[in-house]
Structure 1
Amino acid sequence: MDVQPWHAVAAVMDRAPATIRVFLDHRMHCVGCPIARFHSVEEACREHGLALARILAAFDAAARVDEPS
């Protein structure tokens, strides 16, 4: 999965469950949050004061774990 800034946080976690660890490691409280369906990755990074490019790279690395071989 190629995670994009406009992807909904919940969709990222649904499609690539390995990204949940990235959210938790960066103290993003998105896991289980009712707003995760509506917040984009970009919005979540802004809310948590995190660099978007760094988080996207971490999500992409984690998402590769969930891709079928």
Structure 2
Amino acid sequence: MIYTKDTLIGEALDNDMSLAKYFLEMGMHCLGCPSSRGETIAEACMVHGVDCDALLRKLNATDAKNVLA
């Protein structure tokens, strides 16, 4: 899966729960909340003041490593 600014957080976590650490690092501690799972990655970054492109690089790099493992 390739993560984009429009990817829902719930979709990303359903695809790979190990990505939760990156959301927790940015201060998003409400990952189990239904409303947070319905936010896009861009929306979450905006609310938490995080560089969305930097987060996407981490998410996509981690997913690529997991696919190759």
Q: TM range, normalised to the smaller chain?
A: 0.7 to 0.9
Structure 2 residue 43 is matched with structure 1 residue 58: no
Question: Take 1:23 and 1:60, find their aligned partners in 2: how far apart are those partners?
Answer: 13
Q: Show structure 1 runs of 4+ deviating over 6 A.
A: none
Structure 1: give runs of 5+ residues left out of the alignment: none
Question: Take 1:68 and 1:56, find their aligned partners in 2: how far apart are those partners?
Answer: 18
RCO higher in structure (CA 8 A, sep ≥6)? 1
Checking the alignment, whether the CA contact within 8 Å between 2:7 and 2:41 is kept in structure 1 is yes
Structure 2 residue 7 is matched with structure 1 residue 10: no
**What is aligned with 2:40?**
40
Secondary structure of 2:17 counterpart: coil
Structure 2: give runs of 5+ residues left out of the alignment: none
Identity over the aligned pairs, expressed in percent? 26
Letter in 1 for 2:31: V
Q: Which structure features the higher share of helix residues?
A: 2
Q: Give the deviation of 1:22 after TM superposition.
A: 0.9
What is the RMSD computed on CA atoms of the aligned residues? 1.6
Letter in 1 for 2:28: M
What TM-score, normalized to structure 1? 0.83
What TM-score, normalized to structure 2? 0.83
